[in-house]
Structure 1
Amino acid sequence: MGNSSYEIKVNKNEFRWKGEEGELTFDGAPALLFWDSAIELFLNTIEEISGSDVSKTVYEVTGFRMGQLVSSYYEGRTDVAELLEEYAEIYKSAGWGVFEIHEYSYEEKKAVVRIRNSWEHRIFKLADKNEAGVLLPSHWAGIFSGLFRQDMWYKMVKSQLEGHDYDEIEIFPSTLTISQNIHELARKKESESIIELEKKVEERTQELSTLVQELSSPVIPVLKDILVIPLIGKYNDERLRNMIEKALVELTRLKARYLLIDLTGIKQVDPYTIHGIQKLIQSIRLIGGQCFLVGVSAELSIQILHSHVKLEGIKSFSSLQQGVEYSIQQNGYELVKKK
């Protein structure tokens, strides 16, 4: 039996099985047989991997190009009405369902196709989907694009999944092409990726900004009435404003008298930052506190002098330790070495 060949005609269509070669032909062309469940698995896999938007475009492009391929087989025929009837018989014989050309006008370049029990409908119904498929409607758009020799597209008017007896598809001239459809999808995906990336950047920037605010210029209690605020890195409006607010709040909350501005972590200082330090000193003075500069290196002192920002009357020390010792003395205490 494996070496046998079989032929059968369904309506006007011929199926031939070559057992020895493992081949099936349909009207002389190589063909394949698939279960509906296998096609369902194939379509679901595409959708699972690509997502609904991409898979919809893939189905439409595939269906449209299949339709163009079918119409190319009959290029040159002028008996279009008879040809459409042949199409319907071919699809019926192949198990694609029942197709009826309900309306057709070559002059107006439009058609209405009704489809009942198509393989796409069977699969969607089996999967409990509530939206009609797009592959077969776009397939007929591709067929009529070939027959009418211009770009055509489709519109679903009725659907069996919505309770109608058949799917009804309007085919009409359109400026929409498959290439445009693909490009629009690519642009949409690119735009979505950019938006998603911008969102992530914005979220990350906010996280970093919050982290910088939390770590930037902490106000540290050292001894009674003495606070230290270490300056690290470069400062902009936001950092300076945040630093001044922190210093004022903590000095008031702890009822401290002295604030040591520690410049140990500053390697280079620009006029903008020096102006910020000046504002901080003035703000602390307004609420009755005093500021001292500590951790001032020789290089840093030269930079401050060259900035032409006036910091006269501000005590400064080369180290934090010296500044703390001076503040203790100003507070009426002294450090005594334990015997």
Structure 2
Amino acid sequence: MEFIFQDSFKIKEFIENNKQNFEDALLLEAVNVKEKISEILRIGNIDLVNNAHRLVVYVIDGKEQELQSFAKQEGIAWATQSITLSFKLEWVQAIRKTLWNFIQKYNELMHKVTIEDFFRMEQQVNNRIDQFLNVFFINYSTYKDSLIMAQRKLVENLSVPIIPITPSMCILPLIGSVDSFRTNILEKKVLMEIGRLRIRTLIMDLSGIADMENEAIDHLMKIIDGCSMMGCNTVITGLRAEVVRKIIHSGITFNKKIKTLGTLQQALKEYLVG
């Protein structure tokens, strides 16, 4: 590998004038990331090669504020996209190793660097790269957690869709399986909405329920009792045979005050038309 070098070069100028050599050496270090560079650029609009040069400049120039701002920007960008985090760690460590190889080559060509200068540079360079990684991971984790919480909130709202049909009547269509996690969401959302909307009749349609755990059945009965305590009558519609069999074998019985109908259409006809 041939290098462009002049005695007047600073380390930053040396790397800038040998930019292609630096990129080639970096790609040799980052074996796993090398094949993913184009994909990461396409998926997340993250230009790893240009960002590597940017990081090196901030590290060499000691631009602490720009370095932290860049690390924050990178952390959020990676958290937003579904990109494996290990690629980022490998990439930054490859940048660190490549930078040190170029610093070593620069020192060999200069013949003027003292051991004190070397160790001072070693401390500065490694501290700044470690600082970049620290800020990156803090912002990655913070933003990722906020995304997960937002997605979970959305799932919770979609899993318990309470639909008003009159000022005092609502429908709660449940679809899929009902487990203990979902019944916890159900309890919180139903009781809160009964109080907020002043619901007097809640039609709970279970025709879309494919499976229900025994614990969930028991919890559902307690939720219905809670509705009654708040002055809301619950109507159960659409119980499927397999769910009914599970309820029978669980030994749990419906409160006598709970009304059950075969279909949601029957309930709507009775409560809206009748």
TM-score higher than 0.5: yes
Q: Sort the Cα spacing of 1:299 and 1:234 in 2 relative to 1 into closer, same or farther, 3 A.
A: closer
Unaligned 5+ runs, structure 2:
23-49, 62-95
Amino acid at match of 2:227: I
Q: How far did residue 254 of structure 1 move?
A: 4.5
Rounded to whole Å, the distance in 1 between the matches of 2:139 and 2:189 is 35
Q: Sort the Cα spacing of 1:59 and 1:225 in 2 relative to 1 into closer, same or farther, 3 A.
A: closer
Residue 271 (structure 1) aligns with: 214
SS of the residue aligned with 1:229?
strand
SS of the residue aligned with 1:228?
strand
Offset from partner CA, 1:71-116 (integer Å, 9 cap, x none): 6xxxxxxxxxxxxxxx6xxxxxxxxxxxxxxxxxxxxxxxxxxxxx
* Structure 2 counterpart of 1:216, from 159, 162, 174: 159
1:195-210 maps to which residues of 2 (within 5 A)? 195-210=138-153
Residue 102 (structure 2) aligns with: 62
Richer in strand (by share):
1
Residue 154 (structure 1) aligns with: 120
1:315 equivalent to 2:230? Answer no
CA contact (8 A) 1:275 1:309 kept: yes
Q: How far did residue 63 of structure 1 move?
A: 3.6
CA contact (8 A) 1:296 1:318 kept: yes
Residue 240 (structure 1) aligns with: 183
Offset from partner CA, 1:230-282 (integer Å, 9 cap, x none): 22344566643443344334434554432111112211111232123112211
CA contact (8 A) 1:231 1:265 kept: yes
Rounded to whole Å, the distance in 2 between the matches of 1:31 and 1:228 is 75
Q: Sort the Cα spacing of 1:234 and 1:202 in 2 relative to 1 into closer, same or farther, 3 A.
A: farther
1:297 equivalent to 2:240? Answer yes
Unaligned 5+ runs, structure 1:
1-29, 72-86, 88-138, 145-151, 156-175, 335-339
Amino acid at match of 2:169: I
Rounded to whole Å, the distance in 2 between the matches of 1:237 and 1:269 is 9
CA contact (8 A) 1:217 1:232 kept: no
1:251 equivalent to 2:204? Answer no
1:42 equivalent to 2:16? Answer yes
| TM, length-normalised to structure 1 | 0.46
Amino acid at match of 2:120: Y
What's the RMSD between the two structures over aligned residues?
4.4
Q: Sort the Cα spacing of 1:65 and 1:263 in 2 relative to 1 into closer, same or farther, 3 A.
A: same
Give the aligned length: 204
Q: Sort the Cα spacing of 1:233 and 1:208 in 2 relative to 1 into closer, same or farther, 3 A.
A: farther
Richer in helix (by share):
2
Q: Sort the Cα spacing of 1:275 and 1:186 in 2 relative to 1 into closer, same or farther, 3 A.
A: farther
1:325 equivalent to 2:269? Answer yes
CA contact (8 A) 1:67 1:141 kept: no
Higher Cα Rg: structure 1 or 2?
A: 1
Q: How far did residue 284 of structure 1 move?
A: 1.1
Q: Sort the Cα spacing of 1:292 and 1:54 in 2 relative to 1 into closer, same or farther, 3 A.
A: same
Offset from partner CA, 1:197-228 (integer Å, 9 cap, x none): 43343122112112123323122223464321
| TM, length-normalised to structure 2 | 0.55
Considering Cα pairs closer than 8 Å and 6+ residues apart, tell me whether 1 or 2 has the greater RCO. 2
Q: How far did residue 307 of structure 1 move?
A: 2.9
Offset from partner CA, 1:289-320 (integer Å, 9 cap, x none): 21121111112211222333332423322311
